[in-house]
Amino acid sequence: MSRLNAPSPDDVPDGAKGILDNVGAQFGFVPNMFATLASNPAVLDVVMTLQGTLSRVLDAKTRHTIALAVSQANGCDYCLAMHTHVSSGLPGMSSDDIDLARAGSSIDPKRAAVARFAQQVVESRGQVSDADLAAVRGAGYTDPQILAIVTVAVQVLLTNFINNVNQTDNDIPTASSVGTRG
């Protein structure tokens, strides 16, 4: 059971109503995470603005590969379910690729490097090694793109932390267990 209170639909603060309407239109319903965030319109706005801005820095498959790798590393069941659900609707993102992303890899070698790097960012708390940077650069990523990868990983950390603190009730299909890389 979620540990933080979400406002009832009638009690959603004015500053959050429009945002929730947009979320509902996008998903066909308002996921519990967003309903909970609506209790603080400023926080909801920060999360939505950050997600919207970051949707322009890397392609969707790369962003969701990062989200799956980071959410697995953080043990965020809600975010794993959400990103698995969204990723499964992306063209060219198979269930095998989703499972690999969660394990810090990918069918695509370039996205595999991103998944490994994102997990290293999380596991090392940003103290990645020169070899980690060389690997992601070797996969073809530029320094501006590496900044985008780190920023997307941190945005995912934000929602992971919110959902882990809340123990958000899962209102989307749950993600199956996948082992993390060793």
Amino acid letter, residue 42: A
pLDDT of residue 181: 40
Going by C-alpha positions, the residue among 54, 48, 6 that lies closest to residue 25 is: 48
Task: Work out the pLDDT band at 177, boundaries 50, 70, 90.
Answer: low
pLDDT of residue 175: 65
As a whole number of Å, the end-to-end CA separation of the chain is 31
When pLDDT is averaged across residues 150-171 and rounded to a whole number, the result is 97
φ/ψ of 126, rounded to 5, equals 90, -5
Task: Work out the pLDDT band at 182, boundaries 50, 70, 90.
Answer: very low
pLDDT of residue 123: 94
d(Cα 23, Cα 21) in Å, to the nearest integer?
5
* Length of the chain as a residue count: 182
pLDDT of residue 142: 97
Half-sphere exposure of 152 (CA within 13 A, CB side): 29
Rg (CA), the chain: 16
Lowest mean per-residue pLDDT among 11-15, 38-42, 97-101, 170-174 = 170-174
Query: Domain ranges in the chain?
Result: 12-54, 60-166
SS3 115: helix
What are 67-84's pLDDT values in tens digits?
A: 999 999 999 999 999 999
The CATH fold of domain 12-54: 1.20.5
When pLDDT is averaged across residues 96-113 and rounded to a whole number, the result is 95
CATH number of 60-166: 1.20.1290.10
> Are the CB atoms for 45 and 20 separated by under 8 Å?
no
